[in-house]
């Protein structure tokens, strides 16, 4: 049984979440908390396997509660938010900086057409996150992992002229993307295309959150937009994103791939077709295998590719599948990726 603590200040929403989670035979809701202070006491006393966390609460909000829990009793925390206002969502993503492992929209009410699907997503996320090994976040560990094994690193086709960067991520990806973008120099010359799997309604706030710490302009991609050097483009909700010759972004309602829209596979396949060996592409933390085969396609065409290492990934599904396929030129922790991208962008080894 997975032991869950539900933290939510609204009595109605709290009971709603308890009902959804408690209906699954593999989950036991061992307690609830009305605010962050109660949450800290309950975590110390009951040691749950997973916590669902509201953000806006009295006494101690969800952001500060997350910080303190990760300092004392590190536990997988899933942020369950009822707001999709971009400014509030941006605040929600700060909880991921503090150590939360996932952000979900609150399930739709009983009788709503989306109720069953959104309730199922909450249950599945809680179950998956119960298997995640979290670490104490403050102070940050001074880990300095190695780069890829030498044989892989030496295979990088550095002589190719990089023209674009494409990155795919899912669960655990947002703070890694923040780490990468915040460390890139303001004169970074390449456009960056990103597909981040995320609950519908959160992407605009995610873009605003990334922009707060990036010296590069970060945009929600729009249809028929011309790709500009040194700009970051994030795929919007419910659209597939691809690139076309001439440096243009195209958004479509094409079918989901790997059950996903936007799909990393869809983007990377177009990058392989348009840019070939002149692309740099990578997969970050995330469940599933979206983009793994397409990353291999890119590497086979001479592109430089990378995958996040297992030690730093919340879920090593996507990058792990790519590594199994020998699709990654480099295997990197997040803090090493910006330097590699900068060197490739300037055609340096």
Q: Which residues are catalytic?
A: 170, 197, 290
d(CA 349, CA 117) in angstroms, rounded, equals 47
Rg over CA atoms, the chain: 20
CB 39 within 8 A of CB 66: no
Query: Are residues 37 and 7 in contact, defined by beta-carbon separation less than 8 angstroms?
Result: no
Closest-CA residue to 77 (of 40, 117, 45): 40
What does the alpha-carbon distance between residue 124 and residue 339 come to, in Å, rounded to a whole number?
36
Name the token pair of 196: 């981040």
Give one DSSP letter per residue of 91-149, joined into a string: HHHHHHHTT--EEEEPPPPTTSTTHHHHHHHHHHHHHHHTT------SSPP------S-
CA dist 306 and 97 (Å) reads 23
Phi and psi at residue 295, to the nearest 5°: -65, -40
């Amino acid at each position: 049984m997975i032991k869950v603590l539900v933290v939510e200040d609204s009595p109605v929403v709290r009971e709603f979440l308890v009902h959804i989670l408690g209906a699954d035979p593999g989950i036991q809701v061992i307690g609830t908390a009305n605010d962050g202070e109660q949450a800290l006491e309950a975590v110390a006393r009951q040691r749950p396997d997973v916590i669902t966390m509201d953000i806006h609460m009295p006494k101690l909000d969800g952001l500060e509660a997350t910080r303190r829990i990760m300092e004392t009793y590190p536990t997988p925390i899933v942020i369950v938010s009822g707001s999709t206002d971009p400014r509030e969502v941006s605040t929600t993503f700060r909880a991921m900086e503090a150590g939360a492992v996932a952000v979900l929209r609150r399930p739709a009410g009983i009788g709503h057409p989306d109720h069953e699907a959104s309730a199922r997503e909450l249950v599945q996320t809680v179950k998956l996150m119960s298997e995640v090994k979290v670490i104490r976040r403050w102070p940050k560990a001074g880990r300095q992992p190695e780069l890829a094994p030498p044989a892989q690193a030496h295979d990088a086709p550095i002589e190719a002229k990089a023209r674009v960067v494409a990155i795919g991520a899912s669960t655990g990806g947002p703070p890694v993307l923040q780490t990468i973008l915040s460390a890139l120099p303001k004169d970074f010359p390449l456009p960056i295309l990103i597909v981040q799997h995320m609950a519908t309604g959160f992407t605009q706030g995610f873009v605003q959150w990334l922009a707060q710490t990036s010296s590069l302009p970060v945009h929600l991609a729009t249809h028929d937009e011309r790709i500009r050097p040194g700009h970051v483009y994030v795929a919007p909700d419910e659209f597939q994103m691809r690139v076309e010759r001439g440096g243009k972004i195209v958004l479509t309602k094409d079918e989901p791939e790997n059950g996903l829209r936007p799909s990393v596979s869809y983007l990377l396949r177009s990058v392989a077709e348009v840019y070939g060996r002149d692309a740099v592409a990578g997969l970050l933390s995330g469940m599933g295998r979206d983009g793994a085969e397409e990353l291999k396609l890119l590497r086979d065409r001479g592109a430089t590719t990378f995958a996040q290492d297992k030690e730093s990934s919340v879920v090593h599904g996507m990058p792990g599948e790519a590594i199994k396929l020998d699709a990654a030129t480099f295997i990197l922790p997040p803090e090493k990726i910006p330097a590699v991208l900068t060197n490739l962008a300037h055609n340096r080894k």
